[in-house]
């Protein structure tokens, strides 16, 4: 693709899932032989050379409403939005800018449906995320946690926000299991601001437990909040017998892919972007109903950051997982470790087909297209 010059503008330095995806897409494109220059700001100083036969393409991996389209049209022949969303509709603030892009790339079918239902008219292509199956694998050394010995371990990896639904996970675990059950719930999580420290998160969880009336003698939970090296994070997955997250909505769900690649099956809500790669062969699905995000946000059970400005649109819906269904799936997994192993093996086989190289090949085709 010598005749095409690509500028990737996105959060490549962030430690979030979005940042990971941004870095991986850039790397995957380069492995496909695409000339990519990375720009992390809201604009670039790139200048289109008069008379140049090269086509200049901008791939924008930030919030669409922040782009100065008029200015960028002077620099680029084609402007592509790479985005992701977690509810049935995108925020109204994304309009009218989003239909000014030439093309939109999203990672899953749910994303495409949400954009179309929201009124996006420009071409939309699915460019899936990938997982490094050579890094996330069943043989990885388990995270050292003495209390896990002899117990069936549930693991969960997520940011401490309302969409991830920590309160329902905690309530299901406390209600379904007692101190007499040989189980353990390990939560790897983080806050989003300076004051949302590990102690702040633990205080929120403990306060919620007291509010629900549970005694101190409940099934044990380990909450890990410190920054973790990639090697240790890989060990969190292999520590588990099953990965559990009753999410209300996912654009993709990278931890699901990493868990499956590690040979660990998934318990999660049966709705969202993750349904492109989760199936009954590798997962257990929680029943749900679609509802307005404000309903759960205004509930007495809400304990985590809400991001209300993003998820409170008039027509937005997300999934509300059923507590009884979650309890049932967790209990079933606990009593059937062999079935968990079978699903985990299938998940490993499924994830070996979903590489970032495959994602780069899909994106390369879109980059090479002329305006549609």
Counting Cβ atoms within 10 Å, is residue 358 exposed (0-12), middle (13-18) or buried (19+)? middle
Give yes or no: residues 123 and 164 share one domain.
no
Residue 135 resides in a domain: no
Residue 136 resides in a domain: no
Residue 138 resides in a domain: no
Residue 191 resides in a domain: yes
Domains contained in the chain, number: 2
Give yes or no: residues 105 and 189 share one domain.
no
Give yes or no: residues 241 and 327 share one domain.
yes
Q: Is 246 helix (H, G, I), strand (E, B) or coil?
A: coil
Q: What is the pLDDT of residue 162?
A: 98
What is the four-CA torsion angle of 140, 143, 149, 152, rounded to 10 degrees?
-70
Give yes or no: residues 65 and 200 share one domain.
no
Q: Kindly report the three-state secondary structure assignment for every residue of 313-346.
A: CCCCCEEEECHHHHHHHHHHHHHCHHHHHHHHHH
Give yes or no: residues 344 and 361 share one domain.
no
Q: Is 264 helix (H, G, I), strand (E, B) or coil?
A: coil
Q: Is residue 84 a contact partner of residue 107, using CB atoms and an 8 Å limit?
A: yes
Q: Is residue 258 a contact partner of residue 17, using CB atoms and an 8 Å limit?
A: no
Give yes or no: residues 201 and 299 share one domain.
yes
Q: What is the pLDDT of residue 367?
A: 92
Q: What is the pLDDT of residue 276?
A: 98
Domain CATH code at residue 344:
3.40.50.2000
Q: Is residue 236 a contact partner of residue 143, using CB atoms and an 8 Å limit?
A: yes
**Residue of 93, 57, 85, 61 whose CA lies nearest to 72:** 57
Domain of 340?
A: 146-353
Please give the DSSP secondary-structure letter assigned to residue 371: P
Are β-strands 318-321 and 288-291 bridged in parallel, bridged antiparallel, or unpaired?
A: antiparallel
Cα–Cα distance between 214 and 22 in angstroms, integer?
Answer: 42
Give yes or no: residues 269 and 309 share one domain.
yes
Residue 137 resides in a domain: no
Q: What is the pLDDT of residue 43?
A: 56
Give yes or no: residues 305 and 360 share one domain.
no
Q: Is residue 104 a contact partner of residue 123, using CB atoms and an 8 Å limit?
A: yes
Give yes or no: residues 171 and 310 share one domain.
yes
Q: What is the pLDDT of residue 230?
A: 79
Residue 237 resides in a domain: yes
Please give the DSSP secondary-structure letter assigned to residue 135: T
Give yes or no: residues 225 and 285 share one domain.
yes
Instruction: Show the low-confidence residues of the chain (pLDDT under 70).
Output: 1-2, 41-53, 370-372
Q: What is the pLDDT of residue 274?
A: 98
Q: What is the pLDDT of residue 44?
A: 56
Distance of CA 240 to the CA centre of its chain: 19
Residue 140 resides in a domain: no
In the block, which residue shows the tokens 């790339």?
105
Give yes or no: residues 158 and 114 share one domain.
no
Cα–Cα distance between 285 and 50 in angstroms, integer?
Answer: 56
Give yes or no: residues 152 and 280 share one domain.
yes
């Amino acid at each position: 693709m010598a005749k095409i010059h690509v500028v990737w503008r996105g959060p490549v330095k962030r430690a979030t899932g979005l940042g990971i995806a941004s870095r991986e897409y850039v790397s995957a494109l380069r492995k496909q032989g695409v000339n990519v220059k990375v720009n992390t700001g809201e604009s670039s100083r790139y200048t289109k050379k008069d008379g140049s036969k090269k086509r200049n393409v901008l791939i924008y991996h930030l919030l669409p409403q922040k782009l100065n389209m008029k200015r960028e049209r002077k620099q680029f022949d084609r402007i592509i939005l790479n985005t992701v969303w977690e509810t049935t509709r995108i925020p109204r603030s994304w309009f009218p800018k989003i239909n000014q892009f030439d093309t939109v790339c999203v990672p899953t079918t749910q994303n495409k449906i949400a954009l179309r239902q929201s009124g996006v008219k420009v071409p939309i292509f699915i460019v899936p995320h990938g997982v490094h199956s050579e890094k996330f694998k069943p043989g990885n050394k388990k995270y050292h946690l003495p209390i896990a010995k002899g117990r069936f371990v549930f693991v969960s990896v997520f940011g401490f926000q309302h969409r991830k639904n920590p309160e329902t996970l905690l309530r299901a675990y406390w209600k379904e299991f007692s101190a007499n059950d040989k189980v353990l719930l390990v939560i790897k999580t983080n806050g989003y601001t300076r004051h949302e420290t590990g102690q702040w998160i633990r205080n929120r969880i403990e306060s919620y437990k007291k509010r629900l009336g549970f005694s101190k003698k409940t099934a044990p939970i380990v909450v890990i909040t410190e920054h973790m090296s990639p090697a240790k994070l890989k060990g969190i997955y292999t520590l588990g017998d099953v990965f559990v997250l009753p999410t209300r909505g996912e654009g993709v769900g990278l931890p699901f892919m990493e868990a499956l690649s590690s040979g660990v099956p998934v318990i999660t809500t049966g709705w969202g972007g993750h349904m492109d790669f989760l199936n009954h062969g590798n997962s257990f699905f929680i029943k749900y109903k679609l509802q307005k995000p404000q309903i759960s946000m205004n509930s007495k059970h809400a304990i985590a950051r809400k991001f209300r400005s993003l998820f409170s649109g008039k027509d937005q819906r997300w999934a509300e997982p059923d507590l009884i269904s979650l309890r049932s799936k967790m209990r079933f997994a606990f009593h059937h470790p062999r079935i968990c192993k079978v699903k985990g093996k299938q998940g490993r086989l499924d994830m070996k087909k979903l590489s970032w190289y495959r994602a780069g090949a899909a994106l390369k085709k879109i980059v090479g297209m002329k305006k549609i």
